[in-house]
Chain A
Amino acid sequence: DGGITQSPKYLFRKEGQNVTLSCEQNLNHDAMYWYRQDPGQGLRLIYYSQIVNDFQKGDIAEGYSVSREKKESFPLTVTSAQKNPTAFYLCASSINGGRAGNEQFFGPGTRLTVL
């Protein structure tokens, strides 16, 4: 089955530790995205990648880092510099990052709690 997988579904970390969230897609999509969702707020874009080996900052990139070494994988690292990392993180992909009108497909999300 084609789709987007995120693991794990729930993640707990101690304050001050870096943590990496996994996102894999087998849809052969060029573009991938990371969003953060907080209660009472709309999804906010952290980073996006339009093509392998390239990525751009979104609206709230501070304290996060990404890599895009393979087309199917776009891991997100939440660093200790992120002041309020506890949130629900969603990964998405679309066929093409540059063209308007492409639908985004979302993964199931990872709920990160920093203790």
Chain B
Amino acid sequence: KNEVEQSPQNLTAQEGEFITINCSYSVGISALHWLQQHPGGGIVSLFMLSSGKKKHGRLIATINIQEKHSSLHITASHPRDSAVYICAVRQETSGSRLTFGEGTQLTVNP
């Protein structure tokens, strides 16, 4: 079993829909990251959080440390949101090293 599990693996939505991507982890962490990878391969950091909730534009990330679970929400989804979304955790004992989930492929159709 992977230390970081994401669901779903693939998600197709219609433009305007509210989207949720989930991430569960089985280790103690100091921080959790949400990353976005576009078809060209480059990765952009969306959020880094260790508690509570963060919001940036139409993106919202939440984390529940007790339940070892995080969610990434996209409101009013748009075709340009189509990308792979990756959850990564910084384990308490690993300094700055990250452990990555397999990613969720999101496709938003017009």
A residues lining the B interface (CB < 8 Å): 31, 33, 37, 40-45, 48, 50, 58, 88, 90, 94, 96-109, 111
Query: Is the contact region of chain A dominated by helix, strand, or loop, or is it mixed?
Result: loop
Inter-chain contact A98/B41, CB cutoff 8 Å:
no
Which one of B41, B97, B100 contacts A111 once the chains associate, using CB atoms below 8 Å? B41
Query: Is the contact region of chain B dominated by helix, strand, or loop, or is it mixed?
Result: strand
B residues lining the A interface (CB < 8 Å): 2, 4, 30-31, 33, 35, 40-45, 48, 50, 86, 88, 90, 92, 95-103
Q: How many angstroms from the CA of A99 to the CA of B92 in the assembled complex?
A: 10
Inter-chain contact B100/A43, CB cutoff 8 Å:
yes
Q: Which residues of A contact B96 (CB under 8 A)?
A: 31, 48, 50, 94, 96-100, 102, 104
Rounded to whole Å, the gap between the CB of B22 and the closest CB of chain A is 15
Inter-chain contact B2/A42, CB cutoff 8 Å:
yes
Beyond A31-B96, A97-B95, is A109–B30 a contact (Cβ under 8 Å)? no
Q: How many angstroms from the CA of A101 to the CA of B48 in the assembled complex?
A: 8
- Given A42-B88, A101-B48, 16 new contacts (CB under 8 A): A40-B102, A42-B2, A42-B86, A42-B99, A42-B101, A90-B43, A100-B96, A101-B31, A101-B50, A101-B90, A106-B42, A106-B45, A108-B40, A108-B42, A109-B42, A111-B41
Q: How many angstroms from the CA of A85 to the CA of B107 in the assembled complex?
A: 29
Which one of B45, B97, B99, B100 contacts A103 once the chains associate, using CB atoms below 8 Å? B45
Beyond A103-B45, A109-B41, is A98–B97 a contact (Cβ under 8 Å)? no
Rounded to whole Å, the gap between the CB of A47 and the closest CB of chain B is 11
Inter-chain contact A104/B41, CB cutoff 8 Å:
no
Of the listed residues B35, B92, B97, the one surrounded by the most CB atoms of chain A closer than 10 A to its CB is: B97
Beyond A101-B30, A106-B44, is A42–B100 a contact (Cβ under 8 Å)? yes
